[in-house]
Amino acid sequence: MDKKAYGLIREPERKAFSLKTLLGFLGPGFLVTVGFVDPGNWATNIEGGSKFGYELLWVVTLGTLMLVLIQHMAAKLGIATGKSLAVNIRDHFPKPVSLFLGFSVVLACVATDIAELLGGGIGFSLLFGIPLWMGAWLTLLLEVFLIISQRYHRVETIIVGFLGIITLCYLVELFIVKPDWSGIVSGFVVPKVGRESIYIALAILGALVMPHNIFLHSNVIHSRQWGISENEKRELLRYEKMDTILAMTLGWVVNSSMIIVAAAVFYHDHISIDTIEEASATLKPIAGVLAGLLFAVALVFSGVGSSITSSMAEADVITGFLGKPADPRSTLYRVAVFVTSIPALLVILFSIDSFRILIFSQVILSIQLPFTLVPLLILSRNRTVMGGFRSGTVEFIAALIVSALVIALNSYFLYTTMTGGG
């Protein structure tokens, strides 16, 4: 006899939505969001806005929609298994494959560190007139101090505060530059890409859907108590979705604002921008001293905030693939925080064209992205791994489309680069 059909076994009642519970669960998504309003985004967005106006706004919208889906799947993997994506790859993939994937994501982390430390260094240089290398060192020291000396929830609060400051600065800049809103609407809804803009479009995408952030979300989601039973986890998964959607939407607003400001100020007046420093210097006489100051302040908070989250991701990835606990008090974790910063500091010390390096670093992230997405899809569809949280058909097909689109864009980018169109 089917007891459930006859009402002898009652399904657990769905609890009413609780604002207090939501506020308690907000945080992990915002920690991830500050990673895609990082200095790499500044470089790609300024380049895209100054060269192509509002034409590439659709890439930000598309990337954000992709991000919501992928980040939700990463968080759900962490909730269902109690393990991060790095640990799950180590546990469920052949060792050679696991080693390759781990190595590739560490390279992506190095590229990320270049963007974060370089951006923070430029921000400090603009604000206080200090050399770039000194600003990068200052960014690194602040990042390490905040990671090692603070508890996770305190770091989370600091990052949310940083994100709020960045958002406020750009919203004020939008008010100052008075953009063409009809052109903005067209840029959001009409996809355009060509041989000249594909490089920047791909860099914008790589700066939004960042591989290390996918690994990070699957790990920091464990900072919340998700219960023991599947029903408890499923109930609380609603709040994770809201956290992810709210945080990603805020990131969409900031990234769109970056392109809009660059388009309104530089593209409108046919001004070519080759460095972030030049963007700041040009912004002041055109949009005013306040706009230039807000630009520098937001860049500092972006560099320091995103360097914190990228270093947390790097440490989580390295400890996860080595099968060690992600404990900030352990020697391995603390060494991992420094390890990927060394190549970044060397690049900053000896490089001349910082703007090109920032954009190139984002392209590296986009090229690595399929090697993060494919394992995530495989694990999310595996019933043995996910149990009742296995991805449904609609979610899985949507994720397949996202992955196929990323791979297609990468292939087109490589083709145009090899044939001289990039």
DSSP 264-317: IIIITTT----SHHHHHHHHHHHH-HHHHHHHHHHHHHHHHHHHHHHHHHHHHH
Integer angstrom CA distances of residue 408 from 192, 199, 210: 15, 13, 17
For each of the chain's 422 residues, which pLDDT tens digit applies? 444 443 444 444 556 667 777 777 888 889 889 888 887 788 788 889 999 999 999 999 988 998 999 999 999 999 999 899 999 999 999 999 999 999 999 888 888 888 788 888 888 888 888 888 888 889 888 888 888 776 667 788 888 888 889 889 888 888 888 898 888 999 998 888 777 788 788 878 867 888 888 999 998 888 777 666 777 778 778 888 999 999 999 999 999 998 999 899 888 777 877 677 777 777 776 777 788 888 888 888 888 888 888 888 888 899 999 888 887 778 888 888 877 788 878 877 776 566 677 667 767 777 888 899 999 999 999 999 998 899 999 999 999 998 888 788 777 766 766 676 54
CA distance 395 to 418: 35
What pLDDT, on a 0 to 100 scale, did the predictor assign at position 353?
66
Tokens matching residue 365: 């992230």
Alpha carbon 56 to its chain centroid, in Å, reads 18
What pLDDT, on a 0 to 100 scale, did the predictor assign at position 98?
93
DSSP characters for 82-134? SS-HHHHHHHHS-HHHHHHHHHHHHHHHHHHHHHHHHHHHHHHHHHH---HHH
What pLDDT, on a 0 to 100 scale, did the predictor assign at position 284?
73
Nearest Cα residue to 296 out of 169, 136, 133, 155: 169
Fold of 20-418: Amino acid/polyamine transporter I (1.20.1740)
What pLDDT, on a 0 to 100 scale, did the predictor assign at position 413?
67
Tokens matching residue 167: 């958002």
What pLDDT, on a 0 to 100 scale, did the predictor assign at position 10?
43
CA distance 108 to 366: 9
354-368 vs 370-381: helix crossing angle, rounded to 10: 30
What pLDDT, on a 0 to 100 scale, did the predictor assign at position 362?
67
What pLDDT, on a 0 to 100 scale, did the predictor assign at position 2?
41
The residues spanned by each domain of the chain are 20-418
pTM: 0.86
What pLDDT, on a 0 to 100 scale, did the predictor assign at position 422?
47
Nearest Cα residue to 303 out of 150, 149, 126: 126
Report CA dihedral (301, 304, 306, 307) to the nearest 10 degrees. Answer: 170
